[in-house]
Amino acid sequence: MDIRILHLVGTRPNVIKLAPVFSALAFYPRFRQLIAHTGQHFHRNLADGLFEELGLPQPNYRLRAGRKSDLGQISFMLTGVEKILLRLVPHLVIVYGDVNSTLAGALAASKLRIPVAHVEAGLRCFDRTLPEENNRVLVDHLSDLLFAPSTDAAKNLRREGIEKKRIYLAGNVMIDTLIERLPRAETLWKKRWRRRFGGKPFALVTLHRQENVDDSLKLERILKSLNRLGEKISLVFPVHPRTHRNMRGLSSCTKKLVMTPPLPYTDFLALLKHARLVITDSGGVQEESSFLGLPCFTLRSCTERPVTVERGTNTLAGKDPKLLEREIERSLAGHRKRPRLPACWDGRAGERIAATIAEWLKGASHPSRKL
């Protein structure tokens, strides 16, 4: 009898985290893996094209959450995910990260008494005004298996009263995918990007979080600061669809920025590997840059990945554009952090997660089914 495992994803980072787990679980012949995509990200390079790029099958189920408010997305996804779960009746639902899709998947499965595994559990920035922080806390307390990417994340879960037997230090699946894609990224750099950006130092920019791009005045201040920095170093800026919508009317603030559409993951990785520094508000980029030893300046005053500040190359630049400019000037002058990689950031997190799931399902007893 097949054991049905449903992976629920909705955004680009979710799919990047899915890839090593799906690959590792494929070695267990009794597991029948299926993928549901909520459509929270819908640009080709953020959604469908990424499955092909990472060697994943296309999703078995698709929803179209798209451009809705947070509550609108979650409501739509809850209804859609419920229908999928009632039709499939999986033995386990695996959710990834901290986005609305993650919360909708965990909540729907929990209500139907279907076990939930959370990959990237325990991350906390301790700022409940951020929607992702609320998602993290809720998903962790709904989950049966919690896979922490770092020791501080595991400690956060224990501090909140979650049973130790449900918590596993798995390591960072983002790093698994990065390590697997690096050789291809280097090939792409030589074939596609070196001629365009390799002649002089450049910095890479990503910007997409609600607190930075949905407030027009804040976004304008950030873009003006980046524009000033663009006079000192070339800034390559793949623009997220959400940011692009909110940049209308701000073209005068972007004259010094080299803007592109969202890039395929491996192309982005090629640029990240060869950039002089990165400016971001992305959690994943904080981790990837720390692994690569690349100076990272995060446009936030807190991070759910403090290990990237304590052991990696990340610097919190806060919400003050002048602070960002000062920190980058220090970096360009040669002041750099030396990274010390956290435990289990070794490219084998997916394997550890798969082994734990296999062992857990073997001994699991659920009222609604027998395995």
Give the residue from 255, 236, 240, 254 showing the smallest Cα distance to 198.
Answer: 236
Look up 208 and say whether it is catalytic.
yes
* Backbone φ, ψ for residue 238 (5° rounding): -70, 120
C-beta separation of 230 from 200 below 8 A: no
> What do you get for the CA distance between the two ends of the chain, in Å?
8
Out of 91, 208, 240, 274, which one is annotated catalytic?
A: 208
Point out the residues that are catalytic.
208
